[in-house]
Structure 1
Amino acid sequence: MSTGTHGTLRHVSTGALRHRLSRLRWFVRELTGEATYDRYVAHARSHDPDAPVMSRRAFERSRTDAREGDPREGFRCC
């Protein structure tokens, strides 16, 4: 909600608020990398629906190992 010129609250429709919140949720998930696992699962299932899919923990461990093992990344402590 925003304020008008007289300091009163201007009405924001429920649909507009939901849209803004969904965009904010999308942005935070992309920023934190949370959506990466969801994309991995969707990709794995679309290519072979019967193949086992890594757990989120195993997926994150694999990503971390790949980043730390890449000489272009250099040493990262955190």
Structure 2
Amino acid sequence: MNTVTTGLKGFAAYMRSLMGADAYQKYLEHFESTGHPGPAMTERQFWRDRMDRQDTNPQGRCC
């Protein structure tokens, strides 16, 4: 049973990564590791900024 649970967790993490759901967490990790001055964006600010950048500079995406 443990192997199945581990496999499902791995698959779920893969799907979150594939869909970009973990982008904010990756942003925070990068922000902290590079020592940016000032506070990090809130999650709401991050997603708004990301959507604005994708709208102004569309690149290969499905929709």
Category of TM-score, reference length = shorter chain: 0.7 to 0.9
Which consecutive aligned stretches of 4+ in structure 1 deviate over 4 angstroms post-superposition? Answer: none
Q: Which runs of 5+ in 2 are unaligned?
A: none
Matched, 1:39 2:26: yes
Scaled by the length of structure 1, the TM-score of the pair is 0.64
Do the aligned partners of residues 44 and 18 (structure 1) sit closer, same or farther apart at CA in structure 2, a change above 3 Å counting? same
> Taking CA–CA contacts closer than 8 Å with sequence separation of 6 or more, which of the two structures ends up with the larger relative contact order?
2
Where 1:34 maps in the other structure, the secondary structure is coil
Q: Which runs of 5+ in 1 are unaligned?
A: 1-13
Scaled by the length of structure 2, the TM-score of the pair is 0.77
Aligned-residue identity in percent: 27
Aligned pair partner of 2:15 in 18, 28, 31:
28
Compare CA radii of gyration and give the structure with the larger one.
1
Partner of 2:49: 62
Q: Aligned Cα RMSD in Å?
A: 2.1
Partner of 2:35: 48
Distance 1:49 1:66 in 2: 20
More helix, by proportion? 2
